[in-house]
């Protein structure tokens, strides 16, 4: 039998993959015993291992995995963490066979994750089908599980036994026999309660929990909001599959913020320390965005070329002020909106209020800046610099254009991240550099139209 399986491995399984005939592959494999298929995993080229694993019915896959000895299991898991394998899973999901891949049951998830180091967990959770940057990809299965019928004494005894295997013993999770989460007890409560009290009498029966698919930022926001040491994660059948501990949440929170910082500065995010990254990789993380922004600035050049041929040359002097101020106003709004969205303090339905607010702030800023610009142009450029071409009419043109640019920049700066969020993308892509590039071109159009109307 084993011989036959080996034959199958080298010929048929790989051929099934190459032909993308995953449905027949699945049928062929499940005809064997899980113990034999377990060995087959190890014989397969690494890139097909995880694909096959995810393809099998969940209970069958679990049995295959559990049938392996610890060493093989570890090696299999280590092979899962290789970066190139991620794409295999992505491919499976993009394939129309996605519906044959079922969600892993809670006990399988727990068994698999237990063998993994903290570093491998994120990758493995992702491979198990949890989306990147979700609660599922952040959780650990090393929690203390109690039953409602236990006494405090029994619970403390249980904690003593499992403490070394648990990431935290300070929050314990009470489940029913179906592993469904029904309550939470803290170690503090256990310590101050009499030994014969039942867990069901002291547990908090309305625990806050999240589903595996919830995005990482929301998980972090919940932990921060309530000051939790850990947050339970349940699958779509409300069974407890893991917990997110505060130290992992802190790391995730930091990563999320640094990603936003990078995006706001038009850098591809990386979680490596600056001093340790070679020059070539720093270059690669920056140059694509610089090139993109360089190309987009062509819009402004073309606008300026039309402008120049049609209007007095003196107007060009104020282009940097106009563009700079427009860009700064847009950045202020976009950063405010992006961070509020990230921190969860801005529900997407509040978009109309935000736009109205930015319109009001923009009107006030526009007015103040227009007055300042008028004074600056008249005093500095006309009188101090003594430029005779800077007439009062020019100053008014600049001032009016600035006011309008500011209002529009504020609204665009707030609206674009909100719009991007609504279609389900990361609002931080609409950060300062892109807002600035858009506002730059737009401010030139406004300036051009106003100058043409007033001066010609």
Segment 196 to 255, residues that bind a copy of itself, using CB under 8 A: 223-224, 227, 229, 246-247, 249-251, 253-254
CB-nearer residue toward a copy of itself: 7 or 308: 308
CA distances from 334 to 215, 231, 262, 351, 406 (A): 22, 31, 14, 13, 13
Q: Work out which of 1, 31, 275, 423 binds a copy of itself, going by CB under 8 A.
A: 275
CB-nearer residue toward a copy of itself: 139 or 262: 262
CB-nearer residue toward a copy of itself: 126 or 331: 331
Q: What is the residue whose two structure tokens read 């309305």? A: 206
Q: Work out which of 56, 104, 150, 346 binds a copy of itself, going by CB under 8 A.
A: 346
Q: How far apart are CA 415 and CA 386, in angstroms?
A: 41
User: Per DSSP, what are the bridge partners of residue 234?
Assistant: 211, 240
Q: Work out which of 113, 150, 203, 264 binds a copy of itself, going by CB under 8 A.
A: 264
Q: Work out which of 13, 231, 243, 335 binds a copy of itself, going by CB under 8 A.
A: 335
Burial class, 77, CB count within 10 angstroms (exposed 0-12 / middle 13-18 / buried 19+): buried
Q: Work out which of 13, 337, 378, 442 binds a copy of itself, going by CB under 8 A.
A: 337
- Work out how close the CB of 85 gets to a copy of itself at its nearest, in angstroms, rounded to a whole number: 28
Q: Work out which of 317, 351, 419, 455 binds a copy of itself, going by CB under 8 A.
A: 317
Structural tokens at position 343? 């921190």
- Work out how close the CB of 16 gets to a copy of itself at its nearest, in angstroms, rounded to a whole number: 44
Q: With CB under 8 A as the contact rule, which of the stretches 6-14, 16-24, 44-52, 341-349 interacts with a copy of itself? A: 341-349
* DSSP classification of residue 317: G
Query: Which residue from 67, 71, 74, 29 is spatially nearest to 48, judged by alpha carbons?
Result: 29
3-state DSSP assignment of residue 206: coil
Q: What is the residue whose two structure tokens read 């469904």? A: 180
CB-nearer residue toward a copy of itself: 89 or 443: 443
Q: How far apart are the first and last CA of the chain?
A: 92
Residues 344 and 221 sit within 8 Å (Cβ to Cβ) = yes
Residues 398 and 318 sit within 8 Å (Cβ to Cβ) = yes
Q: Work out which of 125, 134, 137, 325 binds a copy of itself, going by CB under 8 A.
A: 325
The CA R_g of the chain, rounded to the nearest whole Å, is: 30
Q: Site residues for a copy of itself, window 372-411 (CB under 8 A)?
A: 372-373, 376, 380-381, 385, 387
- Work out how close the CB of 124 gets to a copy of itself at its nearest, in angstroms, rounded to a whole number: 20
Q: Site residues for a copy of itself, window 131-190 (CB under 8 A)?
A: 156, 159-160, 163-164, 169-170, 187-188
CB-nearer residue toward a copy of itself: 44 or 341: 341
- In 10 A of CB 71, how many CB atoms? 8
258 lines the binding site for a copy of itself (CB under 8 A)? yes
């Amino acid at each position: 039998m084993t011989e036959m399986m080996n034959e199958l491995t080298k010929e048929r399984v790989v051929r099934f993959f190459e032909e993308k005939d995953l449905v027949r592959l699945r049928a062929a494999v499940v005809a064997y015993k899980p113990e034999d298929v377990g060995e087959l995993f190890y014989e397969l080229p690494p890139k097909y291992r995880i694909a096959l694993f995810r393809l099998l019915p969940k209970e069958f896959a679990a049995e295959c995995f559990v049938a392996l000895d610890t060493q093989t299991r570890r090696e299999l898991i280590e092979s899962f963490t290789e970066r190139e394998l991620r794409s295999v899973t992505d491919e499976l999901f993009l394939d129309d066979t996605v519906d044959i891949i079922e969600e892993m049951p809670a006990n399988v998830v727990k068994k698999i994750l237990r063998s993994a180091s903290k570093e491998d967990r994120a990758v493995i959770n992702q491979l198990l089908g949890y989306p990147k940057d979700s609660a599922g990809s952040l959780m650990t299965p090393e929690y203390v599980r109690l039953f409602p019928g236990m006494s405090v004494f029994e619970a403390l005894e249980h904690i003593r036994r499992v403490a070394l295997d648990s990431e935290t013993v300070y929050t314990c999770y009470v489940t029913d026999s179906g592993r469904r989460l029904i309550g939470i007890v803290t170690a503090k409560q256990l310590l101050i309660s009499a030994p014969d009290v039942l867990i069901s009498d002291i547990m908090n029966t309305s625990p806050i929990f999240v589903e595996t698919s919830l995005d990482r930022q929301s998980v972090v926001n919940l932990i921060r909001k309530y000051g939790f040491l850990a947050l339970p994660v349940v699958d779509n059948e409300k069974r407890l599959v893991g917990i997110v501990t505060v130290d992992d949440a802190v790391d995730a929170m930091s990563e999320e913020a640094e990603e936003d910082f990078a995006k706001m500065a038009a850098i591809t995010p990386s979680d490596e320390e600056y001093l340790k990254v070679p020059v070539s990789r720093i270059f690669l993380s920056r140059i694509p965005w610089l090139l993109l922004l360089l190309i987009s600035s062509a819009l402004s050049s073309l606008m300026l070329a039309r402008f120049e041929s049609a209007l007095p040359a003196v107007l060009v002097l104020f282009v940097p002020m106009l563009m700079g101020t427009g860009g700064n106003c847009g950045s202020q709004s976009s950063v405010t909106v992006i961070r509020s969205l990230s921190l969860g303090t801005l529900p997407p339905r509040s978009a109309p209020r935000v736009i109205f607010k930015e319109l009001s702030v923009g009107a006030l800023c526009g007015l103040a800046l227009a007055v300042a610009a008028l004074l600056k142009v008249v005093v500095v450029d006309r009188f101090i610099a003594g430029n005779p071409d800077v007439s009062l009419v020019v100053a008014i043109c600049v001032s009016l254009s600035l006011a309008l640019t500011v209002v529009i920049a504020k609204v665009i700066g707030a609206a674009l991240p909100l719009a991007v969020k609504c279609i389900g993308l990361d609002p931080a892509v609409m950060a300062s550099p892109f807002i600035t590039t858009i506002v730059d071109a737009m401010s030139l159009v406004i300036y051009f139209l106003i100058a043409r109307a007033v001066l010609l």
